Amino acid sequence: MPSQANAPLPTGFQLDQYRIDRQLSLGGFSIVYLAYDEDDTPVAIKEYLPNSLAIRQEGQLEPQVPDDNLPAFRYGMKCFFEEGRSLARLMHPNVVRVMNFFRANGTVYMVMQFERGRTLHDYIHRHKGEVSERFIRGVFTRMLNGLREVHAHKLLHLDIKPSNIYLRNDGTPVLLDFGAARQTLMSDQPMLKPMYTPGFASPEQLGNREALGPWSDIYSVGASLYACIEGTAPPRSDERQQKDTLQPTTRTHTGRYSAQLLETIDWCLQLDPLKRPQSVYSLQKALMRREAGEAMPAGWFADIGTKLRSFIGRT
């Protein structure tokens, strides 16, 4: 977690119709809080507060933005607000539900449904080297239902990684924390620090941004699949472009996972966007096959929720 450059809103603070309970997470672009609405229903609230552009001291409400940073800060705030507007139109069980978005305290807030469970990152960390193929296929096949809906709305996620794939208590995955607004901000404001996640970002996110498309999210899905079997992210894609040290999983994990799953992961991690799956649907079809032309048997995914509830019960 980054150092706390900006002070969070205090516990008990009344933000519009929501009461702040505590900070949940911190990033270079935002702070996420647990809050409660007027009916005492828990929600997650994401506050636009990029460390590189603004500072908020303890006891302050509005961030202080140097004059030189104001254009970039306001542009980023507009992107964040528009992203909230776009996400609020998405209604899918595998995509985080955006319920409200509003301006206050000189910045913008996005209110999301609060989900109970654990991240895929937590699951990988606790089961390093022991994440089963059944579990991997079950989680990602369902998560990709949500990503298909995102792409159908002409949106990109641009920050898919295990810590942004949330596993509810019933085992269903949900996509969190879209990175499209901060990616847009970064592309138009070259003075900003990079806001991608090394190892999970596609090469076009780091360089040729005109080439961004669904295949860019698919690279990140491949990197997340890789993390499930390896325990860590693959090498950074920009470093791979200079000297590719990534060993194909078909070479490093033969015998531990099916050849078809390993081939699918290697397919997603191609540096050339045109050599990856071009749509989520084509990737989903691959994950639902055990071998070429052979569909998974009925009941293959049935025990994912049971396994996950067992995992959460021990944490």
What is the domain partition of the chain in residue ranges? 14-113, 117-313
Fold annotation for 117-313: Transferase(Phosphotransferase); domain 1 (1.10.510)
At 1 the pLDDT is 41
* Average of per-residue pLDDT across 18-25: 94
What average pLDDT does the chain have? 86
Residue 229's identity, in one-letter code, is I
pLDDT reading at 18 higher than 70: yes
Rounding to the nearest 10 degrees, give the CA dihedral for residues 46, 51, 53, 56.
80
Residue 98 contacts residue 87 (beta carbons within 8 Å): yes
pLDDT digits (tens, 9 = 90+) for 200-229: 999 998 877 778 899 999 999 999 999 999
> How many other CB atoms are found less than 10 A from the CB of residue 5?
14
Q: Which of 70-74, 103-107, 122-126, 260-264 has the lowest mean pLDDT?
A: 70-74
* Average of per-residue pLDDT across 75-79: 85
**14-113 shares its CATH topology with 117-313:** no
> What does the DSSP 8-state code read for residue 28?
S
> How many other CB atoms are found less than 10 A from the CB of residue 129?
9
pLDDT digits (tens, 9 = 90+) for 276-314: 999 999 999 999 876 544 555 545 444 555 555 554 445
Residue 256's identity, in one-letter code, is R
> What does the DSSP 8-state code read for residue 94?
T
Tokens encoding 113: 């449904």
At 315 the pLDDT is 45
pLDDT digits (tens, 9 = 90+) for 239-261: 999 999 999 999 999 999 999 99
At 80 the pLDDT is 85
Q: Give residue 195's pLDDT band: very low, low, confident or very high (50, 70, 90).
A: low
Strand partners, 15: 18
At 310 the pLDDT is 53
At 125 the pLDDT is 93
Tokens encoding 204: 């076009």
Q: Distance between CA atoms of 30 and 44, rounded to whole angstroms? A: 12
Contacts 24+ apart (CB under 8 A), 6-14: 6/31, 6/49, 6/51, 6/54, 6/55, 6/56, 6/63, 7/56, 7/57, 7/58, 7/59, 7/60, 8/33, 9/33, 9/47, 9/61, 9/105
Number of H helices, E strands in the chain: 11, 11
Position with higher pLDDT, 84 vs 241: 241
Host H or E run for residue 290: strand 289-291
Residue 24 contacts residue 94 (beta carbons within 8 Å): no
Strand partners, 167: 118, 173
Q: Which of 5-9, 104-108, 223-227, 305-309 has the lowest mean pLDDT?
A: 305-309
Rounding to the nearest 10 degrees, give the CA dihedral for residues 216, 121, 152, 273.
10
Tokens encoding 131: 């994440």
Q: Which of 55-59, 62-66, 231-235, 287-291 has the lowest mean pLDDT?
A: 287-291
Going by C-alpha positions, the residue among 45, 183, 162 that lies closest to residue 105 is: 45
Position with higher pLDDT, 216 vs 184: 216
Fold annotation for 14-113: Phosphorylase Kinase; domain 1 (3.30.200)
> How many other CB atoms are found less than 10 A from the CB of residue 23?
17
